[in-house]
Amino acid sequence: MKNKIPSAQVMSQNIGLKRRFFIIFSVVFAGEIIFSLPFHVPRFFRPTLLDVFNITNTQLGDIFALYGIMALFAYFPGGAIADRFSGRKLMSFSLFATALGGLYYTQIPNNEGLAFLYAYWGVTTIFLFWASLIKVTRQWGGETTQGKAFGILDGGRGLAGAGVASIAVLILSMSLPENTELMSATQHTDALRSVILFYSLMTMLAGILILLALPQDEPMRHKVTRDSNKLIMLKKIFTVIKQPKIWLQALIVLSAYCTYKSLDYFGLYATTVIGLNELDSARLVSNATYLRPIAAITAGFIADKFRTDRVISSCFVMLSISYLLLSFSGSISTGPSSIIEINFLITFLLVYALRGIYFALLEESKLSGKLTGTAVGMISVIGFTPDIFFSPIAGRILDSAEGIDGFNQLFLLLAGLSMLGFFTAYMLAKRIAKKTESQKPELPKELNNETI
């Protein structure tokens, strides 16, 4: 652990298989758990959360928007920092800081305190963590297995999230009385507090794993003047900004991330429309999360064989059809083998497939590895803006139209966003095809001499 090794060398195929497995296991676990406190609790336990905190979908959506705003300002500088400093230190610090917020979460703060907490998490989960996560994964995957690497990352994240969520559901069920209709407000609050504390401990554990697994690598700082470092960083930023393919990838991520955010509302759909109680709803959504590793890893292998942009385009087309069918579910029979149940399965699979491979486009579009962190920052600034606008919009749609009518409107919106993703992916595929034979260097001379 004391030997300093360059990151690219550590992630190469030359290191031992056990070490490579430990690295990717720790990265995968950390990559999911850091978002468990701000996102897993409202995703799997939304009815319980709304009741304990006494807030509406609209209010919770506005609180999520604060998270998104802070994250928006954190993505781009975080990407530049990831290109220069050790991912081991950046990621572990982020995990410990996020877990600290979980301890405050257990106090069940009021609306103002909850808003402050989500703004805080918008910084701790993104600024020093996100670009480092993507960069480490890209280094681990090498030049020829990017689809597999990102498929393993997101599929593994899904498996970790599902496993931890299942334990959290068990904790909730053990904390509640057998007849949930007779439980007191105190029992309800204590049950949710136990779930939050569990996620906080898991986040701390992830920070420890990162410290143990990732090498004490030599950050990418060279013997040049401070002014030269600033000049190189600015050249990286301008090199990334002026490339249309980066903007197209950002729009693809934006469309896909909106569909991913929609999964937060399937638990509420189960209680509002299907009529499940909050415990069965949590079980339904947590069990569906086990589809994520299957979808993401399978999509990764398919993308490596048939091209990532084609797989993404196909997923968006099928997803738009699935959302359209769900939007008309009110006029369709809801028997045991109904179209609603089939669409639930298809929607989760397609969303997780997209989530698993969209960052593999970085390699397919021949972006220099030296620009990974900066490009991820740029793509994320645009691609993850749904953290700002999607939850407030969805919350208002659901609060303004009762029952299934609100969900039908939400699914129509998602069908339109899926079509936006398809057209953007199609445009990117055409651009990549045109430049396949005549590739131009993307780095200034000062950067071409640096290797990753």
Q: Is the pLDDT of residue 409 over 70?
A: yes
pLDDT given at position 24: 87
Map tokens 């991820």 to a residue.
376
Between 76 and 320, name the one with better pLDDT. 320
**Structural contact between residues 359 and 141, judged by C-beta atoms closer than 8 angstroms:** no
Per cent of the chain over pLDDT 70 is 78
How confident is the model over 38-45, as a mean pLDDT? 88
Q: pLDDT tens, 430-442?
A: 877 776 555 555 5
pLDDT given at position 200: 97
Closest CA to 300 of 361, 247, 220: 361
How confident is the model over 322-348, as a mean pLDDT? 69
Q: pLDDT tens, 174-225?
A: 887 766 666 777 888 899 999 999 999 999 999 999 999 887 655 444 444 4
Q: Is the pLDDT of residue 316 over 90?
A: yes
pTM recorded for the entire structure: 0.70
Q: How confident is the model at residue 1 (pLDDT cuts 50, 70, 90)?
A: very low
Amino acid at 5: I
Amino acid at 158: G
pLDDT given at position 147: 64
pLDDT given at position 452: 34
Q: Is the pLDDT of residue 285 over 50?
A: yes
pLDDT given at position 214: 85
How confident is the model over 151-161, as a mean pLDDT? 82
Q: Is the pLDDT of residue 358 over 90?
A: no
Map tokens 């986040």 to a residue.
203
How confident is the model over 359-367, as a mean pLDDT? 69
Quote the CA–CA distance of 412 and 409 in Å, as a whole number. Answer: 5
Q: Is the pLDDT of residue 241 over 90?
A: no
Q: Which CATH number fits domain 7-436: 3.20.20.140, 3.40.1440.10, 1.20.1250.20, 2.40.50.140?
A: 1.20.1250.20
Rounded alpha-carbon distances, angstroms, from residue 15 to 3, 124, 416, 451:
14, 31, 46, 19
Overall residue count recorded for the chain in this entry: 452
Q: Is the pLDDT of residue 447 over 60?
A: no
Q: Is the pLDDT of residue 100 over 60?
A: yes
CB-neighbour burial class of residue 433 (10 A; exposed 0-12, middle 13-18, buried 19+): exposed
How confident is the model over 391-414, as a mean pLDDT? 89
Between 147 and 7, name the one with better pLDDT. 147
pLDDT, averaged across the chain: 80
